[in-house]
Structure 1
Amino acid sequence: MNWMRSLLLALALLLAAPVAALSPNEILDDPVLEQRARDISAGLRCLVCQNQSIDDSDADLARDLRVIVRERLVAGDTDEQVRQYLVDRYGEYVLLNPRLGGHTLLLWVAAPALLAAGLGGLWVMSRRRSSTDGGGLSPQEQAALDDLMAEPGDEGRS
């Protein structure tokens, strides 16, 4: 009975294995066009899954976008024309890597600027710490500290 459960579990796991998002009827006959379509699809965001390329997504919209990419390539569009067509239709969010422009400048500059500011802050803190640690106590400060640390009744023993 246990072997039957194990066999059923193994069969269920095999059937639940992930399938490739690209269906065979989407693949173009021309291998050069198909490779171009795959290269373009790898850089386009699935608008349903949001953090997957349309090449990796099983969503219906991703399938529709893959078909549009292939149709545009067969029609003779360049790779950039296909991308621009999809950006015009769905917005720049469809691109996995945003373009460098005035409206995305903050995205591209913020991380390096914050890193530089953090490193600069650490450098300033280390410089301040090293300048205050090197002096030690003056003889007058040491005498005052000794007076404070002395136990009551020890004043006459020095």
Structure 2
Amino acid sequence: MDWAFLIDFMIEIGYFLLVFGIFLGFSVFKGRQAVMNLIFGLYLALLISIQFPNYDFILGGLDSAGSLALGKITFFAIISLLTTALCFRVMPDEFQENKFESFGKKILLAGGATILLMIFSFNVLPVTEFLTPGTPIQSLFAPEHYFFWWLLVPLVILYIV
């Protein structure tokens, strides 16, 4: 095991923990329904970004692979924000609870949202332009044959919670 592998692994673990921490903080301060809305918004953003026909028109002026990847990630983030805002408007906030009430359920929901973002990162979004391939996190989330099964995990969590 060389130092470059360890550094890449630490960067990806940091990315994973940062995403989980953001979603857990969001669930603590905004509530369970907010994370449920976020998960539904991410699913809808996935559908829109996969089927979007005009990537060439929007990202046509970008030359390098890094700027093109950043453009696609930014586009996905904007679509995710818009679809999540739509879910906030459509779905009622039925859970009136304190910040640390139902904390186990909030951890599960944050884990589900983290799984979604991780599989989107390695299968749909061009995040591999910025991360080195071949680390254990990528071997868990990146294979195509696991993508469908990882997509089901947040739905099962939503059903349980």
**TM-score normalised by L of structure 2:** 0.28
Higher RCO, Cα 8 Å, sep 6+: 2
Query: Radius of gyration: which is bigger?
Result: 1
Structure with greater helix share of residues: 2
